[in-house]
């Protein structure tokens, strides 16, 4: 009864919710969300600088998340590059002095807070010609006005950044009297036009007063109440906003400090001054406001303007637009022809003629239809991660954000368990399942920011290695059994691997190496092909006739291992190989191939391990030394139990070692040699027991079939800022946002997989002469792309 209910439940879900209906729902959600965000930005404004300065929330205890955008954490070198030849002035009371110290520590962390607290404090970094001054003006009065006025009247260079603010001293000295507040309003009214004038050439910030922790204030400060502070802040905001005549040249009100203080002032040592972590956050916000538009960090979307379209992006836009127009025209023509050929009533006999046989869809129509869908999808990619339409947020890791979703997925995977069609080791259904659950875990790892937790990072490295292990196993098995080294096979694999990435490189203006995993599997596929295709070509059919050929193949594998070992310890030789044109255009990132060498080196042996495993397994299978019947253990009961025990111990031993890692660099050095232990342990645990080998999860297998598209698409339409942050489609509801964005993301990945398969049939035909023509067209396309890229780079410089 339970089994019937289980099967019936699955059928009912599949009946009412098909992939097609899911995609229609996803399209509707995208259109609705796009309209909502566009309307919101039109009527509420979409200035991320304003959001950065005025709103946000804490993720955990110390991580500040601005509303709708991502904040970059500036390093000392980045801060110096941004502020080179700049003069920054902080003018105000002791709270502004605290902000001053936190700011200059971003330039030089060795600075100590010492000197006259109630006097001016200079700071200079001669290496970058940076000057930062603190001017002690604890009250908004005539003295402060005179100092600000001197900047407006002086012919000398004005400060590039001015950060001002004061009020608590006025409350304290005048015992919180109403007369002091009235005088404050008069004084700030007289200062506001001067600040406005300075704001035309400098960045001017007025820092609102933070709340105090009244219970901790000393007796001499008891008159400084939050009610008084609110009154002073209200006056400052009203006067500064009313004095603004031009939105491009107005004093920026730094109000976010209030929100930060509300959460952290309880940790203050005196109830008045903020704890160090809060001051550092304020300084980082200030750095982001000024520097993001200069440095343009990937993970600093606040205050960054939308990047201009490149020449290649404009051409891509024109191409997709023409494809959509062309498809609509052809569709209208076909629809019109269909109506004309429709059956009509025979007026004489009264009988209806049989309709004409519908003509098959032409290759051109299929091509345009695919590019039409792809163009719409690429528009969504661009809106998500290049246009400033949708919001972005920083990642924040907690154990629950990583492990709880994995438990949910495990339950779903078990719910959709079915019998396999075949019971061979690593059969197609099993490898799809393996790819599927690994990809889902990697996705959760990325969105939760779990790379900061070393044990999780090391286990994810094994999952990436397992993908490459499957690459070695799968391609070796194909070439060994089929003996098909034709150009068609190579072109099919290369097209399916690289099509989406090439399109994204064009549309998203990113280098090929940015999507590092695709170059990695592409190169390893070519290495496997070259190893087996180079004379003498040794395949299973030839080896069955003479056992010596097995030793010949092993010799080839040893030569491959030697080359891998040599290149892994000879960075210079590796870089020389991949620095030659045109390889350099594919594998350079930020002007060098170091990143590519690092990525390749991390899993340098695992593809070889996959090939070797395939060779041993297929040899054992040919000699009938293993049993692959349904429900049968892979070996005899005794051998199976021993191997199973060793596999479980090995699997756990690796996990214990990975969980005890203390240094990422040291663990990465060992990873290439030891990752195969857990991979082989998993393969044996999954395949030795016959009942386990005969089952698979159709839920995980479904995701496994689109694992490559999922891995690539996540860069821009699930994560944000090139994987550095999280895409926010529904602000204010983190869980609901993840559910909606995930649903759309999976539907898009599935559709792209279908588009790739459709185009592969058209672009890579089986006929050799036609294929040669297509390859010439592809060569012409990449030549043109290289030419436009060179023109683009020249215009940038």
pLDDT in tens, 369-406: 999 999 999 999 999 999 889 999 999 999 999 999 99
- The torsion angle over the Cα atoms of residues 536, 539, 541 and 542, rounded to 10 degrees, is 20
Say which of 129, 143, 270, 786 is annotated catalytic: 270
270 flagged as catalytic: yes
Nearest 5°: phi and psi at 63?
-95, 115
Task: Specify the DSSP class assigned to residue 513.
Answer: G
Q: ∠642-646-651 over CA atoms, to 5°? A: 150
- The mean per-residue pLDDT over the stretch 408-424 comes to 94
SS3 state of residue 122: strand
By C-alpha distance, which of 161, 140, 143, 267 is closest to 209? 140
786 flagged as catalytic: no
Count of other CB atoms within 10 angstroms of residue 318: 10
Residue 245 reports pLDDT greater than 80: no
Q: How confident is the model at residue 412 (pLDDT cuts 50, 70, 90)?
A: very high
b/e burial code for range 438-459 (CB count within 10 A of at least 16 → b): bbbbbbbbbbbbbeebbbbbbb
Give the model's pLDDT for residue 5.
Answer: 47
Residue 15 reports pLDDT greater than 60: no
Residue 246 reports pLDDT greater than 80: no
SS3 state of residue 787: helix
- The mean per-residue pLDDT over the stretch 660-667 comes to 91
Q: How confident is the model at residue 306 (pLDDT cuts 50, 70, 90)?
A: confident
**Comparison of pLDDT for 355 and 286, the residue scoring more:** 286
Q: ∠408-414-415 over CA atoms, to 5°? A: 90
Give the model's pLDDT for residue 340.
Answer: 74
Report the alpha-carbon distance of residue 503 to residue 716 in Å, rounded: 13
The 3-class SS string of 3-36 reads HHHHHHHHHHHHHHCCHHHHHHHHHHHHHHHHHH
- The mean per-residue pLDDT over the stretch 216-244 comes to 92
- Cβ contact 237:208 at 8 Å: yes
Give the model's pLDDT for residue 359.
Answer: 54
Count of other CB atoms within 10 angstroms of residue 727: 23
Report the alpha-carbon distance of residue 726 to residue 708 in Å, rounded: 20
Q: How confident is the model at residue 2 (pLDDT cuts 50, 70, 90)?
A: very low
- The mean per-residue pLDDT over the stretch 168-178 comes to 94
Report the alpha-carbon distance of residue 416 to residue 386 in Å, rounded: 38
- The mean per-residue pLDDT over the stretch 228-240 comes to 95
- Cβ contact 584:513 at 8 Å: no
Q: Which two tokens stand for residue 715?
A: 């860069």
- The mean per-residue pLDDT over the stretch 81-99 comes to 97
Please count the CA atoms within 13 angstroms of the CA of 535 that sit on its side-chain side: 0
Q: What is the mean pLDDT of the chain?
A: 92
Give the model confidence (pLDDT) of 267-295 as tens digits. Answer: 999 999 999 999 999 999 999 999 999 99
Give the model confidence (pLDDT) of 494-516 as tens digits. Answer: 999 999 999 999 999 999 999 99
- The mean per-residue pLDDT over the stretch 166-172 comes to 95
94 flagged as catalytic: yes
Report the alpha-carbon distance of residue 260 to residue 264 in Å, rounded: 6
Give the model's pLDDT for residue 388.
Answer: 87
Residue 349 reports pLDDT greater than 80: no
Give the model confidence (pLDDT) of 474-500 as tens digits. Answer: 999 999 999 999 999 999 999 999 999
Q: Which two tokens stand for residue 462?
A: 């094994």
- The mean per-residue pLDDT over the stretch 27-45 comes to 90
Kindly state the percentage of the chain with pLDDT values over 90: 83
Which region among 166-180, 241-255, 461-475 has the lowest average model confidence (pLDDT)?
Answer: 241-255
**Comparison of pLDDT for 794 and 778, the residue scoring more:** 778
Q: How confident is the model at residue 547 (pLDDT cuts 50, 70, 90)?
A: confident
Which region among 33-47, 329-343, 389-403, 741-755 has the lowest average model confidence (pLDDT)?
Answer: 329-343
Q: How confident is the model at residue 356 (pLDDT cuts 50, 70, 90)?
A: very low
Residue 12 reports pLDDT greater than 70: no
Give the model's pLDDT for residue 537.
Answer: 94
Say which of 37, 72, 87, 273 is annotated catalytic: 273
- Cβ contact 278:288 at 8 Å: no
Give the model's pLDDT for residue 47.
Answer: 78
Q: How confident is the model at residue 76 (pLDDT cuts 50, 70, 90)?
A: very high
Give the model's pLDDT for residue 143.
Answer: 95
Q: ∠509-513-515 over CA atoms, to 5°? A: 75
Helices (H) and strands (E) in the chain, counts: 31, 13
What's the chain's Rg over C-alpha atoms?
32
Q: How confident is the model at residue 342 (pLDDT cuts 50, 70, 90)?
A: low
**Adjacency order of strands within the sheet including 252-254:** 121-125, 130-136, 87-92, 161-165, 203-207, 252-254
What pairing do the DSSP bridges indicate for beta strands 130-136 and 121-125? Answer: antiparallel
Q: How confident is the model at residue 347 (pLDDT cuts 50, 70, 90)?
A: very low
Q: ∠249-285-294 over CA atoms, to 5°? A: 60
- Cβ contact 449:427 at 8 Å: no
> First and final CA of the chain: distance in angstroms?
72
Give the model's pLDDT for residue 249.
Answer: 52
**Comparison of pLDDT for 426 and 349, the residue scoring more:** 426
Residue 1 reports pLDDT greater than 50: no
Count of other CB atoms within 10 angstroms of residue 495: 17
Residue 744 reports pLDDT greater than 80: yes
By C-alpha distance, which of 26, 45, 27, 28 is closest to 37? 45
Give the model's pLDDT for residue 199.
Answer: 94
Give the model's pLDDT for residue 357.
Answer: 47
b/e burial code for range 110-127 (CB count within 10 A of at least 16 → b): ebeeeeeeeeebebebee
Say which of 55, 94, 584, 698 is annotated catalytic: 94
């Amino acid at each position: 009864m339970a089994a019937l209910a289980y099967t019936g439940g699955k059928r009912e879900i599949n009946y009412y919710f098909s992939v097609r209906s899911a995609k229609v729902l996803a399209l509707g959600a995208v259109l609705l969300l796009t309209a909502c965000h566009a309307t919101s930005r039109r009527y509420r404004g979409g200035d991320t600088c304003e959001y950065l300065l005025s709103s946000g929330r804490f993720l955990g205890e110390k991580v500040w998340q601005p509303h709708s955008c991502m904040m970059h954490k500036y390093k000392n070198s980045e801060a110096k590059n941004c502020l080179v030849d700049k003069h920054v002035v902080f003018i105000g009371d002791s709270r502004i002095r605290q902000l001053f110290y936190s700011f200059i520590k971003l330039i030089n962390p060795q600075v100590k807070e010492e000197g006259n607290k109630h006097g001016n404090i200079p700071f200079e970094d001669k290496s970058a010609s940076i000057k930062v001054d603190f001017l002690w003006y604890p009250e908004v009065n005539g003295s402060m006005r005179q100092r600000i006025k001197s900047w407006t009247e002086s012919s000398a260079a004005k400060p590039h950044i001015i950060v001002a603010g004061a009020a608590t001293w006025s409350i304290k000295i005048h015992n919180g009297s109403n007369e002091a507040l009235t005088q404050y309003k008069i004084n700030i009214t007289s200062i506001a036009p001067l600040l406005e004038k300075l704001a035309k050439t400098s960045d001017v910030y007025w820092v609102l007063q933070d709340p105090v922790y009244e219970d901790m204030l000393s007796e001499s400060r008891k008159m400084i109440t939050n009610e008084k502070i609110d009154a002073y802040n209200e006056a400052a905001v009203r006067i500064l906003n009313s004095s603004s005549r031009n939105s491009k040249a107005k004093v920026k009100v730094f109000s976010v400090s209030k929100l930060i203080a509300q959460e952290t002032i309880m940790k203050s040592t005196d109830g008045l001054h903020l704890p160090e972590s809060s001051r550092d956050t304020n300084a980082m916000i200030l750095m982001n406001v000024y520097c993001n538009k200069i440095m343009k960090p990937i993970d600093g979307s606040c205050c960054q303007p939308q990047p201009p379209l490149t020449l290649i992006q404009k051409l891509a836009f024109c191409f997709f637009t023409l494809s959509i127009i062309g498809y609509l025209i052809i569709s209208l023509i076909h629809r019109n022809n269909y109506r004309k050929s429709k059956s009509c009533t025979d007026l004489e006999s009264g009988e209806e003629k049989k309709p004409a046989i519908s003509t098959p869809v032409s290759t051109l129509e299929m091509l345009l239809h695919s590019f039409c869908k792809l163009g719409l999808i690429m528009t969504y990619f661009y809106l998500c991660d290049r246009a400033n339409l949708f919001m972005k947020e920083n990642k924040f890791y907690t154990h629950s954000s990583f492990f709880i979703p994995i438990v949910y997925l495990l339950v779903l995977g078990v719910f959709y368990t079915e019998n396999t069609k075949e019971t061979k080791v690593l059969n197609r259904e099993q490898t799809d399942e393996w790819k599927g659950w690994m990809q889902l875990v990697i996705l959760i790892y990325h969105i939760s920011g779990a790379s900061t937790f070393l044990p999780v990072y090391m286990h994810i490295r094994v999952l990436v290695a397992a993908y490459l292990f499957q690459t070695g196993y799968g391609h070796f098995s194909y070439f060994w059994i089929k003996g098909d080294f034709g150009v068609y096979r190579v072109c099919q694999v290369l097209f399916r691997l690289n099509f989406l990435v090439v399109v994204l490189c064009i549309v998203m203006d990113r280098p090929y190496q940015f999507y590092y995993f695709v170059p990695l599997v592409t190169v390893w596929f070519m290495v496997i092909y070259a190893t087996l295709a180079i004379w003498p070509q040794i395949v299973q059919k030839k080896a069955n006739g003479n056992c010596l050929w097995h030793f010949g193949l092993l010799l080839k594998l040893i030569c491959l291992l030697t080359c891998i070992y040599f290149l892994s310890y000879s960075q210079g030789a590796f870089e020389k190989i991949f620095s030659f044109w045109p390889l350099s255009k594919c594998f350079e990132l930020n002007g060098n191939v170091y990143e590519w060498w690092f990525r390749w080196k991390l899993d340098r042996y695992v593809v070889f391990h996959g090939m070797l495993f395939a060779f041993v397994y297929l040899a054992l299978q040919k000699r009938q030394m293993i049993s692959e019947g349904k429900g049968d253990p892979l070996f005899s009961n005794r051998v199976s139990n021993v191997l199973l025990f060793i596999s479980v111990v090995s699997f756990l031993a690796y996990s214990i070692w990975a969980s005890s890692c203390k240094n990422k660099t040291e663990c990465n050095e060992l990873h290439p040699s030891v990752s195969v232990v857990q991979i082989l342990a998993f393969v044996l645990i999954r395949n030795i027991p016959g009942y386990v080998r005969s089952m698979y999860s159709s839920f995980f297998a479904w995701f496994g079939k689109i694992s490559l598209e999922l891995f690539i698409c996540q860069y821009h339409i699930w994560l944000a800022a090139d994987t550095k942050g999280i895409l926010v489609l529904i602000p204010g509801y983190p869980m609901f946002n993840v559910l909606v964005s995930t649903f759309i993301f999976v539907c898009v990945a599935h559709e792209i997989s279908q588009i790739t398969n459709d185009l592969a049939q058209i672009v890579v035909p089986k006929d050799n002469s036609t294929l040669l023509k297509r390859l010439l067209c592809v060569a012409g396309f990449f030549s043109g792309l290289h030419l436009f890229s060179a023109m683009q780079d020249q215009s940038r410089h």
